[in-house]
Structure 1
Amino acid sequence: MVYQLHAHIVLIPRYRRNVMTERVSDEIRSALIEVCTRFDSTLDAFETDGDHAHLLITNAAKVALSRLVMSMKTLIAMRVRAKNWPEVREALWGQHFWSPS
């Protein structure tokens, strides 16, 4: 029997700050594609709107969705923070990028 899970995920930056510029969104998309490839999942749709990102993911259900999302949030945060872009640095202080939700 084969299972396929479709998930609509909304990711919100810490303090719901408006940090989703074009270059941040491009970096997020790149990280999402890398994580999806690693977990045999597919990024079907991706959109950002300044203070949040919408993802539509297709997962083969052999990996827990929580583990997939955790990996996505971790890789995105590391990559975006490493770029040290002013729009992110000035809006988000500390080490966190995503809201804990």
Structure 2
Amino acid sequence: MDGNQVPPWSALDSLSKRHNSRGAAAQRRRRREREREREGERERARERGGHRDTRADATSERRRRSERLEIFADESLKDGREAVRRHPGESRFCSVNNTF
């Protein structure tokens, strides 16, 4: 084979890679899309009034969640069952001993 010839299998190779979503180009495309989304989020946050204090936010969220858990525990005590700290909406079914 002289310099400007391509091995016959490379054409097939590139054909199969063209539709390969795991290819490097697809990864670059996805990364660019993610960056664009993040940039858009940053823009929106800037319009909303800049930096939110996420730490205070998380603390209040934690407090709210623990309050919800306490309420659940109280309900289970009223039922005459043991107080179990559960998240709201979490099933009371126990698969170990098939009880609710």
Same-fold status (TM-score > 0.5): no
For the aligned pair, the TM-score class normalised by the smaller chain equals under 0.3
Structure with higher Rg: it is 2
Question: Which structure shows the higher helix fraction?
Answer: 2
**Larger relative contact order (Cα-Cα within 8 Å, sequence gap ≥ 6):** 1
Question: Which structure shows the higher strand fraction?
Answer: 1
TM-score normalised to the size of structure 1? 0.26
TM-score normalised to the size of structure 2? 0.26
